[in-house]
Amino acid sequence: MKLIFERSTPGHCSDYLPKSDVEKAPRPEKFLRKAKWMLPEVAEVEAARHYKELADQTFGVVSGFYPLGSCTMKYNPRLNERVASFPGFTNIHPLQPKDTVKGCQAVIDLADEMLCAVTGMDKITIQPAAGAHGEFLGLLLMKAYFDHHGQTQRTKMLVPDAAHGTNPASAVMVGFDVVNIPSNANGCVDVEALKNALGDDTAGLMLTNPNTLGLFDPQILEITSLVHEAGGLCYYDGANLNAIMGQVRPGDMGFDVIHLNLHKTFSTPHGGGGPGSGAVGCKDILKPYLPSSFLGKDERPEHSVGQVRSFYGNFGVVVRALTYMLTLGAEGMREASQTAVLNANYLMHLLKDVFPVAYDHICMHEFVLTLADIKKETGISALDVAKGLLDFGMHPPTMYFPLIVPEALMLEPTETESRQSLIDAAEKYKLVKEKICSAPDELRNAPLTTYIGRPDEVKAARNPILRYEE
Ligand SMILES: *Cc1c(COP(=O)(O)O)cnc(C)c1O
């Protein structure tokens, strides 16, 4: 496809307004552009066609099955978009007087109240812009707590080996030393290894439960008590609340601070770097360190770590999350998580004779397949299978994560898929499996039907070219 710059023809535009007959005001020299500006010159219809063509090339939840594990690519109700676009929400300025934005304040306060009820926390801040940003703030609260209590020797952050990569990265950003805690044979935290790692230097533990293998840790209460007995705090990575929303609460599991990805469980379209919200919740002991909030009921907390983002964070995402919660209600949220878990187990059951399951237990919202044996026997990798799925019009699952499973494919179907869509998906996985024997070269070269085949992903990440150059 042509870039919009390649569609450009000098002088082309759609001008609906007559030429201005007002004399141009003089502009100070220092503000004048030195180089020629580079904007494409196209008529409106060309611009519209350009974006339509781009939209046709992308794959979203409305294009088809999108079981990208750990990302919760659920269908996001259009009602959320409608409400988020109300002029009362979009035509305001963050600096206008508080009295004039009372509705927005009510949204923030009600979202705070409802998210506290769902998570068992005492206070929520909506400032962080995404999950990893929420982790950063959550850990900053822990650090501020220890600094304030004169426990600066607590520098070690314990992170299980099944953790999302952002967990150790956030811990390092905040200045903690990461200690890796291995998983046991069941894919859960090795409690003996945890005990050995705990001590006077422990700041805390970061845990995802259910973890990235889709397993709920049955020893969770013992784990959080052990950390507390050692004087540490417990951080809950609640990026995906899809398995537990309305069932159990991180606050009741013994966690002191959490982040939620409102753009995952609480239904905002995401991927491609769009706006998110990594709302952070904490227990009362960490409340004095929260960022100052302009709008919420509370004024600047006493020992605030300061702002982590301008103003109120991505407010539109909070409006969507609140709309979602109010639409479903407590009963609906419970049903959503039950269906998410049921769907994951149903799909796992359909697939377990096609590709081996890494940990063959009842799963939560997601599960992990391993193609290690298949790779050994046939040379076909998890990557080849994932690429092969693209030719069947499906988004591949998450690949090579969690790191503790070799040749991993991680699937999270979410609650918004029907039983028939899961059956259809499983059929396509079977067709790809058959190709391993019947057409291995086709898999090695897949995808054959998409715009782009196999890009050099490392090069794309290390050397991104984001600007058109003539
Ligand atoms: C998605 C995810 C994150 C990171 O969230 P971002 O919004 O992408 O920064 C962290 N932890 C887990 C378990 C996740 O699934």
Q: Could you read off the pLDDT tens digit of each residue along the chain, which spans 470 residues?
A: 889 999 999 989 888 888 889 998 999 999 999 988 888 999 999 999 999 999 888 899 999 999 999 999 999 999 999 999 999 999 999 888 888 999 999 999 999 999 999 999 999 999 999 999 999 999 999 999 999 999 999 999 999 999 999 999 999 999 999 999 999 998 999 999 999 999 999 999 999 999 999 999 999 999 999 999 999 999 999 999 999 999 999 999 999 999 999 999 999 999 877 799 999 999 999 999 999 875 555 567 889 999 999 888 999 999 999 999 999 999 999 999 999 999 999 999 999 999 999 998 999 999 999 999 999 999 999 999 999 999 999 999 999 999 999 999 999 999 999 999 999 999 999 999 999 999 999 999 999 999 889 989 899 899 998 888 77
Q: Which atom of ligand 1 is closest in space to residue 212's alpha carbon?
A: 13
How confident is the model at residue 466, as a pLDDT?
A: 86
**Taking CB atoms and a 6 Å cutoff, what residues make up the pocket around ligand 1?**
70, 130-132, 164, 166, 208, 237, 239-240, 261, 276, 278
Q: How many whole angstroms from 93 Cα to the centroid of ligand 1?
A: 29
The three-state secondary structure class of 135 is helix
Yes or no: say if 41 and 11 are a contact pair by the CB < 8 Å rule: yes
- Quick one: fold of 335-460? Aspartate Aminotransferase, domain 1 (3.90.1150)
- Please report the pLDDT score of residue 271 as a whole number: 80
Ligand 1 centre and the CA of 278: distance in Å? 9
- C-alpha to C-alpha distances, 91 to 86, 104, 319, nearest whole angstrom: 8, 12, 14
**What class, spelled out in words, does domain 79-324 have in CATH?**
alpha beta
Residue 379 Cα distances to 101, 221, 382, 459, angstroms = 61, 43, 10, 24
- For residue 211, with 0-12 CB atoms within 10 Å meaning exposed, 13-18 middle and 19 or more buried, which class applies? buried
Pocket probe mutation, ligand 1, options 68, 70, 170, 215, max atoms within 8 Å of Cβ: 70
Q: Whose CA is nearest to atom 6 of ligand 1?
A: 131
SS3 content of the chain, % helix, strand, coil (to 5): 40, 10, 50
Q: Which residue, by CA, sits nearest to atom 15 of ligand 1?
A: 70
Phi, psi of 238 (to 5 degrees): -100, 30
For ligand 1, atom 14, name the residue with the nearest CA.
239
Ligand 1 atom with the shortest distance to the CA of 130: 7
Asked whether the beta carbons of 440 and 446 are under 8 A apart, the reply is no
- In 102-231, DSSP assigns E strands to 123-125, 156-160, 177-181, 202-207
Q: How far is the CA of 401 from the centre of ligand 1 (A)?
A: 13
CA of 131 to the centre of ligand 1 (A): 5
Tokens (6 digits) for 40:
């494409």
Q: Best mutation site among 170, 215, 216, 237 for ligand 1, i.e. most ligand atoms within 8 A of its Cβ?
A: 237
Q: What is the predicted pLDDT for the residue at 469? A: 79
What's 209's DSSP letter? Answer: S
- Tracing tokens 């709309």 back to the chain, one arrives at 323
Pick from 190, 213, 243: which is nearest to 370 by CA? 213
Contacts (Cβ under 8 Å, ≥6 apart) of 201: 153, 154, 155, 156
Atom of ligand 1 nearest to the CA of 135: 10
Nearest CA to ligand 1 atom 8: 131
What's the gap in Å between 169 CA and the centre of ligand 1?
A: 12
Side chain identity at residue 247, one-letter code: Q
Q: Determine the residue of 261, 263, 403 to mutate for testing ligand 1's pocket, defined as the one with the most ligand atoms within 8 A of the Cβ atom.
A: 261
Please tell me the predicted confidence (pLDDT) of residue 296. Answer: 52
Q: How far is the CA of 13 from the centre of ligand 1 (A)?
A: 42
Distances (CA, A) of 95 to 102, 218, 294, 310, 437: 13, 48, 9, 11, 63
Q: Which residue puts its alpha carbon closest to atom 5 of ligand 1?
A: 131
Residue that has been written with the tokens 């009921």 in this structure: 297
The ligand 1 atom at the shortest distance from the C-alpha of residue 134 is 9
Please report, for the chain, the start and end positions of each structural domain, with discontinuous segments joined by +: 1-58, 79-324, 335-460
DSSP state at residue 204: E
Q: Which residue's alpha carbon is at the smallest distance from atom 7 of ligand 1?
A: 131
- Minimum-distance ligand 1 atom for the alpha carbon of 276: 7
Q: How far is the CA of 273 from the centre of ligand 1 (A)?
A: 12
